[in-house]
A and B are shown apart, each in its own frame.
Chain A
Amino acid sequence: MTALLEAKGLHAAYGETRVLHGIGFSVREGGVTALLGANGAGKTTTLRAICGTVRTQGEIALGGRRIDGLQTEDIVRLGVAQVPEGRGTFMELTVEENMKLGAYTRPARRVTEDFEHMFDYFPRLKERFRQQAGTLSGGEQQMLAIARALLLRPKLLLLDEPSFGLAPLIVQEIFRILRRIREDAGVSILLVEQNATLALDFADDAFVLETGRIVLSGPSGDIIKDEGVRRSYLGY
Chain B
Amino acid sequence: MFAGVIHQVMSGIATGGIYASVALALVMIYQATHHVNFAQGEMATFSTYITLMMINAGLPYWVAFFLAIIVSFVIGVAIERILMRPLANAPVLSSVGVFVGLLLVINSLSGWLFDYTIKQFPTPFPDRPMLGGYLSGHELGSTAVTLIVLACVYAFFRHTRLGLAMRAAAYNPASSRLVGVRVGWMLALGWGLAAAIGAVAGCMVAPIVFLDPNMMSGILLYAFAGALLGGIDNPLGAVLGGFMVGIIENLGGAYLVGTELKLTLALVIIVAVLTVKPTGLMGRRVFSRV
Contacts and interface: CB of A to CB of B under 8 A. Distances in A.
Interface in A6-31: none
Interface string A94-111: 000100111011001000
A148 B174 contact: no
A197 interface: no
Interface residues of A, number: 25
A106 to B, nearest CB: 9
A82 B164 contact: no
Contacts of A148: 179
A209 interface: no
B177 interface: yes
Given A90-B171, A92-B171, A104 B165 contact: yes
B177 A53 contact: yes
A146 interface: no
B181 A104 contact: yes
Nearest to B174: A88
Contacts of B174: 53, 84, 88
Contacts of A101: 164-165, 168, 176, 179, 181
Contact of B161 (A76, A89, A104, A149): A104
A207 to B, nearest CB: 22
A77 interface: yes
B179 A102 contact: yes
Contacts of A81: 178
Contacts of A100: 161, 164
Interface residues of B, number: 17
B251 to A, nearest CB: 34
A100 B176 CA distance: 12
Given A93-B167, A93-B168, A104 B175 contact: no
A82 to B, nearest CB: 5
A63 B172 CA distance: 30
A104 B178 contact: no
Interface in A69-96: 72-73, 76-77, 81-82, 84, 88-93
B182 interface: yes
Contact of A90 (B168, B177, B183): B168
Contact of B181 (A51, A73, A97): A73
Contact of A84 (B175, B180, B182): B175
Contacts of A97: 164, 168
Interface in B178-200: 178-183
A73 B180 contact: yes
A51 B178 contact: yes
Contacts of B182: 73
A214 interface: no
A15 to B, nearest CB: 12
A88 B175 CA distance: 6
Interface string B79-93: 000000000000000
A90 B180 CA distance: 14
Given A100-B161, A100-B164, A101-B164, A73 B171 contact: no
Nearest to A97: B164
Contacts of B168: 90, 93, 97, 101
Given A84-B178, A104-B161, 5 more contacts: A73-B181, A73-B183, A102-B179, A105-B179, A105-B180
22 contacts: A51-B178, A53-B177, A72-B177, A72-B178, A73-B181, A76-B178, A76-B179, A77-B180, A81-B178, A88-B178, A90-B175, A91-B171, A93-B164, A93-B167, A100-B161, A100-B164, A101-B164, A101-B168, A101-B181, A104-B180, A149-B178, A152-B179
Interface of A: 51, 53, 72-73, 76-77, 81-82, 84, 88-93, 97, 100-102, 104-105, 108, 148-149, 152
8 A-B pairs with the lowest CB-CB distances in the bound complex, closest first: A88-B175, A105-B180, A72-B177, A76-B180, A101-B179, A104-B179, A73-B182, A82-B178
